[in-house]
Chain A
Amino acid sequence: MANVKFEHVTKRYGDVVAVNDLNIEVNDREFLVFVGPSGCGKTTSLRMLAGLEEISEGNIYIGDRVVNDVPPKDRDIAMVFQSYALYPHMSVYDNMAFGLKLRRVPKAEIDRRVKEAAKRLGIEALLDRKPKQLSGGQRQRVAVGRAIVRNPAVFLMDEPLSNLDAKLRVQARAEISKLHMQLGTTFIYVTHDQVEAMTMGTRIAVMKDGLLQQIDTPQNLYDRPDNVFVAGFIGSPSMNFFEATLTGGDGEMFVDAGVFRVKIPAERQEPYKSLKGKQVIFGLRPENMHDPEYAPPGIHQALVESKVEVTELMGNEVIVYLNAKDKSFLARVDPRSKMRVGNSVGIAFDMDRFHIFDKQTERAVR
């Protein structure tokens, strides 16, 4: 068990900056998820922590020790690779025991640890098999098992679920979360999938173009995104954005997006007063747009006229693709909604849940 710290960490490949001045403190026993699109620097950050990439600038700490020049094997970490990297010529048992043998752990202890991990992961029956005789899900378990037997201070996982089918991924997600709770070890997990990040992480670090955009708990990232990127990346379907101007006077304030003009409730006006007359980005999540008939009671609604272009019935909800004067956006409405393709409808914006971002800096205004 250990905490991990990235202190002004930068990674350059020639002129390309893959990770730019990264500062993160991961607490002991925490499950931190790095999330972001391809090329955002999340895997590079993990690999620097693992010792598989050199650090161009800054320091990485595991516990109290700077590990910049410590070889991977001495960092007290174990890693699950995206491809699992199971040695194809070794049995499942040998794959799991390999690291322990190299560390000269007594044979009986190796046997005990491998069997215990195999039991925990439900792969006892597979110990004599070679990786090619295993399914994707079984390989993933073996890869996790190989990490568990080492009993490391920090677990690193680099997109370990991306090779699984959707159903298995959901199941494996829960298993990894359970494992984290049982082992009580620091987990650092990399994924491009925001659903994985939201469901597994105690905190999430959102990255883009090598820069840390925001690090916070899943709920805070969802409720209080720091910028347009985080707001759009977290949540599925993504938040709707509209370029707008804040207008009004005499205690009233409106978001005027051209295609609609909606009123900001009095109790939420304060932070935006200085932006009156300025251009902003107005953000509202699809789940905060309702069919007026089924809108939650007590919310400040603002009706926006739009046309239904497509509807996707999901059973528990309907995703409605709407268009208001050539501006398209999405709403997640109640499954009982009678909105049909081609209908002109009034969609209720929940004005208690909107977000405003500065148009120039794209940063949230609160």
Chain B
Amino acid sequence: MKYGQRTFIFTFLFIPVLVYVVFVAVPYLTSMAVAFTKWRGLSMNITFNGFNNFIKLGNDENFWNALSHNGIALIALPIVIIIISLFFAFLFTQGIRGNGFFRVAFFFPQVMSAIIVGVLWSFVYHPTIGMLNGFLGILGVSSMKSFPWLGDPNTVFGAILAVTVWQAVGFYMVLFITGMESIPPHFYEAAKLDGANSIVMFIQITIPMLWESIRTAIVFLALGAMDMYAIVMIMTNGSGGPSRAADVVPRYMVEAAFQNGEWGYATAMAVVLMLIILILSILSLRFTQRETLEF
């Protein structure tokens, strides 16, 4: 390293590292410690609790219920969102009329905050004045008249997942369109001469060449599936749905900390969630890894 270069680098690194240590590293480590305590969050009375918080978690039905919903989202969201996004990306790269408008229209939900999306769709799902039931009424589905989509334990989580899909599809569609448009056309021409039809070309040429984008989508969506806090809070009025039918771990964690005053327990939940996300990230990156393509 040249003379003075070290000082120069350290000067620039000092502030970001300081911010990271104070606002990220210290809280992480502190929460790890808090997870092993019994603390109500306000008093100075913190007692060491060993692994009891974790043992309690293992026996807590509500936690497993919330985690199962995250698990369902983990499976469903990447599959559904990627398939729908790929479909629309393919459609809008075929040179159809007005695709510029559709691209913007599909991307639009992405720029809205989860709060607005949640409120908007709560109205759509409203049993009496909601657009969905009104629409079903027009179609003659009278059995769905006044059906409480967000008030029925059988439908509430599905309804929320549908909103998540609606919001995310535009972003991933744009991601895939960019990827598809960067694939040189001569590969498709060569495939045409080789005898490939559109489906074969999509599976054998487009998907492999788009893999880096799909991989990014899988990782992002997997991590997003472990969260879902905002949308669930808004659409279930903070309750996690009737009979906790749409509860997710982050929401239950907030309930434990801020409503029940079990900070030690909530933090243990956070630590477990962090470990799950860490493992998920590693697994999804490893299992989706392919050779980098040059074209």
Contacts and interface: CB of A to CB of B under 8 A. Distances in A.
Interface of A: 50-52, 71-73, 77-79, 81, 83, 85, 87-89, 98-99, 102-103, 130-132
B56 interface: no
Contacts of A132: 293-294
B290 A89 contact: yes
Interface of B: 184, 186-187, 189-196, 200, 204-205, 208-209, 211, 290-291, 293-295
Chain B CB within 10 Å — which of A71, A89, A102, A132 has the most? A89
Contacts of B194: 73, 98-99, 102
A85 B190 contact: yes
Nearest to A52: B189
B193 A99 contact: yes
B200 A102 contact: yes
A152 to B, nearest CB: 9
Contact of B293 (A85, A88, A98): A88
18 contacts: A51-B192, A52-B192, A72-B193, A78-B193, A79-B189, A79-B190, A81-B186, A83-B184, A85-B187, A85-B189, A87-B191, A87-B208, A88-B293, A88-B294, A89-B209, A98-B194, A102-B194, A131-B294
A89 B193 contact: no
A72 B293 contact: no
B183 to A, nearest CB: 10
A51 B291 CA distance: 33
Interface of B is mostly: helix
Contact of A87 (B192, B205, B211, B291): B205
Nearest to B193: A72
A50 B200 CA distance: 20
A87 B291 CA distance: 13
Contacts of A83: 184, 186
Nearest to B205: A87
Contacts, number: 62
Nearest to A152: B193
Contact of A88 (B189, B192, B195, B209): B209
A258 B59 CA distance: 108
A78 B196 CA distance: 13
A204 B184 CA distance: 30
A77 B209 CA distance: 26
Contacts of B192: 51-52, 71-73
Contacts of A102: 194-196, 200
A87 B195 contact: no
9 closest pairs, A vs B, by CB? A99-B194, A73-B195, A85-B190, A102-B195, A89-B208, A85-B186, A88-B293, A132-B294, A72-B192
A19 to B, nearest CB: 18
A81 B190 contact: yes
Chain B CB within 10 Å — which of A50, A88, A103, A132 has the most? A88
Given A81-B189, A89-B290, 14 more contacts: A51-B193, A52-B192, A72-B189, A72-B192, A73-B196, A83-B184, A85-B184, A85-B187, A87-B187, A87-B190, A88-B209, A89-B211, A89-B293, A99-B193
Contacts of B189: 50, 52, 72, 79, 81, 85
B189 to A, nearest CB: 5
Nearest to A88: B293
A77 B195 contact: no
Contacts of A131: 294
Chain A CB within 10 Å — which of B186, B190, B192, B209 has the most? B190
Given A88-B293, A88-B294, A89-B208, A77 B196 contact: no
A99 B190 CA distance: 9
Contact of B193 (A77, A87, A88, A130): A77
A301 to B, nearest CB: 53
B193 A79 contact: yes
A88 B182 CA distance: 14
A97 to B, nearest CB: 10
Contacts of A73: 192-196
Contacts of A81: 186, 189-190
Contacts of B293: 88-89, 132
A228 B72 CA distance: 75
A288 to B, nearest CB: 43
A102 B195 CA distance: 6
Chain B CB within 10 Å — which of A71, A98, A103, A131 has the most? A98
B180 to A, nearest CB: 15
A51 B184 CA distance: 18
Nearest to A81: B186
A184 to B, nearest CB: 21
B210 to A, nearest CB: 11
A208 to B, nearest CB: 25
Contact of A130 (B195, B200, B211, B291): B291
A99 B195 contact: yes
Contacts of B208: 87, 89
A50 B190 CA distance: 10
A60 B208 CA distance: 35
Contacts of B200: 102
A52 B188 CA distance: 10
Nearest to A74: B195
Contacts of B195: 73, 99, 102-103
A131 to B, nearest CB: 8
Chain A CB within 10 Å — which of B187, B191, B194 has the most? B194
Contacts of A72: 189, 192-193
A51 B194 CA distance: 12
Contacts of A99: 193-195
Contacts of A89: 208-209, 211, 290-291, 293
Nearest to B187: A85
